[in-house]
């Protein structure tokens, strides 16, 4: 081997030695950096792998959180009450309601009439019986005429709604009331004269809702 070859080989060895020393210095500097930052003796590849795994775990956690929020929102929406349209009232239902209201009014009227019939107390009834026994027979026709005159006087009261024939309407109502209630009154209070029964019925009729004079104008 010549001098030139030996010189070239020596130069190559020195260059290789310098490159190795340079790489070692770089590695030692990196290791010192990671050690100073608290990472110990871990390699860069290990650090990258751990960073990648951490990012992947964060991504999975975020996806799980978003899925949970979506489930909660869906459950909340399913629990909200659905507004149902109010059921339509049919004509048949309206007729039933009107019929029920009419029954209630009729029952109230019957109760009021019954209360009115019972307003004559025992003392007044006894007085009427005594009067019947101690007086002569009176003309019931004359008494009826007096009631009709009273009907005529009441039917033209200024607070009663205008009517072409108020006396006829009042007389018809009184006649119907008398025919309806006289039999019951005779059973409740036996022994009186017809004109006395009519007098009691007259008092009841003055307060009865069947009396047109007690009915509010339509």
- 173 in a structural domain: yes
How far, in Å, CA of 42 to CA of 25, rounded? 17
- 180 in a structural domain: yes
pLDDT at 23 over 70: yes
Q: Which of 49-63, 102-116, 151-165 has the highest mean pLDDT?
A: 49-63
Confidence of residue 53 (pLDDT cuts 50, 70, 90): confident
Residue 85 or residue 185, greater confidence: 185
Q: Report the mean per-residue pLDDT for the chain.
A: 73
The Cα-based distances of 212 to 16, 28, 195, 206 in angstroms read: 134, 121, 23, 10
Phi, psi dihedral angles at 185 (to 5 degrees)? -65, -35
Q: What is the pLDDT of residue 179?
A: 93
- pLDDT (average), residues 198-207: 90
Tokens, residue 80: 């909200």
Cβ contact 193:173 at 8 Å: no
* Domain limits for position 155: 120-214
Q: What is the pLDDT of residue 152?
A: 61
Least confident of 56-60, 128-132, 214-218: 128-132
Least confident of 42-51, 101-110, 188-197: 42-51
pLDDT per residue over 60-111, tens digit each?
888 888 888 888 888 887 776 656 555 677 888 888 888 888 877 776 666 5
Residue 88 or residue 198, greater confidence: 198
DSSP 213: G
DSSP 217: P
How far, in Å, CA of 109 to CA of 210, rounded? 8
pLDDT per residue over 120-144, tens digit each?
555 565 565 555 545 444 444 444 5
Residue with tokens 């990012």: 55
Would you tell me how many other CB atoms lie within 10 Å of the CB of residue 106? Answer: 10
Count of the separate structural domains present in the chain:
1
Percent of the chain with pLDDT over 70: 61
- 132 in a structural domain: yes
Size (the chain), residues: 218
Q: What is the pTM of this model?
A: 0.33
DSSP 92-142: HHHHHHHHHHHHHHHHHHHHHHHHHHTTS-HHHHHHHHHHHHHSPPP-HHH
Would you tell me how many other CB atoms lie within 10 Å of the CB of residue 139? Answer: 9
- 98 in a structural domain: no
- 150 in a structural domain: yes
Long-range contacts formed by 193-200: CB under 8 A, 24+ apart: 193/132, 193/137, 193/138, 193/140, 194/140, 194/143, 195/138, 195/140, 195/143, 195/144, 196/128, 196/131, 196/132, 198/140, 198/143, 198/144, 198/147, 199/143, 200/120, 200/128
- 102 in a structural domain: no
- 24 in a structural domain: no
- 177 in a structural domain: yes
Would you tell me how many other CB atoms lie within 10 Å of the CB of residue 197? Answer: 19
């Amino acid at each position: 081997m010549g001098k030139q070859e030996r010189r070239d080989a020596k130069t190559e060895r020195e260059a290789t030695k310098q490159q190795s020393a340079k790489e070692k210095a770089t590695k030692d500097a990196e290791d010192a950096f990671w050690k100073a930052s608290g990472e110990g003796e871990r390699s860069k590849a290990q650090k990258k792998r751990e960073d990648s795994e951490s990012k992947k775990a964060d991504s999975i956690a975020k996806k799980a959180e978003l899925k949970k929020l979506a489930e909660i929102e869906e459950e909340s929406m399913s629990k909200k009450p659905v507004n149902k349209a109010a059921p339509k009232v049919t004509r048949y239902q309206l007729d039933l309601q009107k019929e029920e209201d009419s029954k209630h009014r009729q029952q109230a009227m019957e109760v009021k009439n019954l209360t009115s019939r019972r307003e004559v107390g025992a003392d007044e009834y006894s007085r009427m019986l005594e009067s019947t026994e101690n007086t002569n027979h009176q003309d019931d026709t004359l008494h009826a005429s007096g009631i009709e005159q009273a009907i005529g006087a009441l039917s033209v009261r200024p607070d009663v709604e205008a009517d072409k024939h108020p006396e006829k309407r009042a007389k018809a109502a009184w006649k119907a009331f008398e025919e309806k209630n006289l039999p019951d009154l005779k059973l409740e209070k036996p022994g009186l004269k017809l004109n006395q029964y009519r007098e009691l019925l007259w008092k009841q009729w003055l307060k009865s809702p069947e009396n047109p004079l007690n009915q509010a104008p339509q």
